[in-house]
Amino acid sequence: MQRDLVGYGGSPPKIEWPNGARLALSVVINFEEGAEPSVADGDFESEPGAETPIAAERDVRNTLNESHFEYGSRVGFWRLVDIFDEYDVKVTFFACGRALERNPRAAAAITERGHEPCSHGYLWLDYFRLPPEQQREDMLKSIEAIRRTTGRRPVGFLPRGATVECREMAVEEGGFIYESMTYSEDLPHFLDVKGKRFLTIPYTLDNNDFRYWRSFLEPEQFTRYLSASLDRLYKEAARTPKMMSVGLHLRTSGLPARANAVEAFVAYARSRPGVWFARREDIARVWWEQFG
C-alpha cells in the first residue's frame, strides 16, 4: 500500500450526515483492562504504560499497575456509560477480546445500552512485534470473543501497533466495514488494499485522554482542548460537513475528576445544533451508502 500525502487536496467530499447534521462526533472508549501484558498472565513483563510511578522488574508482577487497570474495568466503565446514558450518547468501544471475557457483565452492557463493540485485538499488544500468522490468530480470537460476550460481531478493527499485514487480513476475513488504523484525516476515506476498497475512519491522538499522562494536569484543560477542536471543526463544517474523534480510556477518564471533564464536553457538544454523536459503524454505513 502506497503512502498518500495529497488526500482530498483541499476539496473534501460533501457528505450528507443524517438529519442535516454538520459535524459527526465520534467518541471512542478503549476497553483494554485485563488484556494488557502482565506477568500474572504469563507474559515476560507487565505493561509499563500507566500512571503508577513505580515500574517493576521483568518477570516480577507490577501489582500497582495491575490495580490501576482493574479500576478502569471495575469502576471507570460504569461511571462513563452512566454519563453517556444521561445525555443519550452512543459511543464506540475499542474493545480487546480478553478484556471483555474477564468482565462479561460490562461486555453485555455495551450492546444492551446501544453502543458499538469494535475489535481492538484479543490481547492489547503491538501487532508489529508478531509474525503475520500470530496477528491473524489474535484478530480471529478477538472477533469470536466479542461476538460471544456482547452478542455482536465487530464490524470495525483497530489493533494496537497496526501493520500493513493486519489491514490486509481484515479485508480477507470479511465482515469488517471499516478500520481505524490511521490518523491521516478529519474525514473517512477509502484505501486500496490488495485491489479492494477498504474504508478507514481516522482515529486521534490529539483529542485523546492519554494527554493526562503527557501534558494535562487539570481536567478542565481537557474539556477546553476538546471544545476548541469542536469549535474549529464546527466552523469549517458550515462549508463542508466534518467529523471529530475523541479517544477515552476507562482507567483514565473513568476517574472521578476526569469524568467531570468528559461530561462537561458532552454537555457543551450537545448544546451545539447540528452535532451528531455517532458510533463509528454508523459513520461507516453512511459513507459506504453515499460514496461506496
Residues contacting residue 162 through CB under 8 Å, at least 6 positions apart = 127, 128, 179, 181
Percent of the chain with pLDDT over 90: 84
User: Comparing 85-89, 135-139, 217-221, which segment has the lowest mean pLDDT?
Assistant: 217-221
* pLDDT for position 3: 87
Least confidently predicted of 94-103, 212-221, 245-254: 212-221
| pLDDT exceeds 80 at position 15 | yes
> Which of 11-15, 51-55, 113-117, 265-269 is predicted least confidently?
51-55
Q: What is the pLDDT of residue 38?
A: 83
DSSP assignment of the chain: ----S-TTTT-------GGG-SEEEEEEEEE-TTTS--GGGT-SS----SS-S-PPPTTS--HHHHHHHHHIIIIIHHHHHHHHHHTT---EEEE-HHHHHT-HHHHHHHHHTT-EEEE--SSSS-GGGS-HHHHHHHHHHHHHHHHHHHSS---EE--TT--HHHHHHHHHH----EE----S-SS-EEEEETTEEEEE----SSSBTTHHHHT--SHHHHHHHHHHHHHHHHHHTTTS-EEEEEEEEHHHHTSHHHHHHHHHHHHHHHTSTTEEE--HHHHHHHHHHHH-
Of 97, 85, 91, 80, the closest CA to residue 116 belongs to 91
Give the rounded percent of residues in the chain with a pLDDT score beyond 70.
Answer: 96
Mean pLDDT of 8-18: 95
The C-alpha cell at 79 is 461511571
Domains of the chain and any CATH numbers: 18-291 (3.20.20.370)
Express each pLDDT in 162-176 by its tens digit: 888 999 999 999 999
User: pLDDT of 45-91, one tens digit each?
Assistant: 777 766 665 555 677 787 888 898 999 999 999 999 999 999 999 99
Please give the Cα distance from 88 to 229 (Å, whole number): 22
pLDDT at 52: 63
Calculate the average pLDDT of the chain. Answer: 93
pLDDT of amino acid 255: 97
The C-alpha cell at 253 is 477518564
pLDDT in tens, 234-254: 999 999 999 999 999 999 999
C-alpha cell at 197: 476498497
Higher pLDDT: 53 or 102? It is: 102
41 close to 216: Cβ distance less than 8 angstroms: no
- Checking if the pLDDT of 152 tops 90, the result is yes
Least confident segment among 178-187, 215-224, 237-246, 248-257: 215-224
Residue 4 pLDDT exceeds 70? yes
